Amino acid sequence: MLVKLMLIVSGLVLLSGVLYVIPAIGKRLEKLSKFLGGFQTIIGIIAIIIGVLNITELSGIVLLIVGLIMAIGILPAIPAIGKKIEKVAKFMAGYQIPIGIIALVLGIIWLL
């Protein structure tokens, strides 16, 4: 259950710039995602931890990717491998919207 909720929350954070285009509920989702965006780094760290704990499942892999994108600001602080992980995360950040859509849709489907 926690994995699915993290997928939804992290998907909303990654899609914060495009949620307004959804008819009827887009503006409310945009406000929610902008609020959650203030906690982006913390959500990213939690997503990485949950992703590593569930790495054998698709949801764990998606959470790991999403977490790396959201925690990009603190990755260089990791000794020895931080700069390399940051490069990978910056590459993946170019695909932020498709990854956010995948995370949100998978979280909603698996929650149902």
Tokens coding 26? 């887009």
Give the sign of the dihedral formed by CA 58, CA 14, CA 20, CA 25: positive
Q: Report percent pLDDT > 90 for the chain.
A: 58
User: Which position has the higher pLDDT, 111 or 48?
Assistant: 48
Residue pLDDT, tens place only, 50-98: 999 999 999 999 999 999 999 988 888 888 888 898 899 999 989 999 9
Q: What is the pLDDT of residue 79?
A: 87
Could you tell me the pTM of the whole model?
0.88
What is the domain count for the chain? 1
pLDDT of residue 64: 94
Alpha carbon distance 27, 49 (integer Å)? 31
What are the b/e assignments for 5-41, b being 16+ CB within 10 Å? ebbbbbbbbbbbebbeeeeeeeeebbebbeebeeebe
Residue 67, domain extent: 2-111
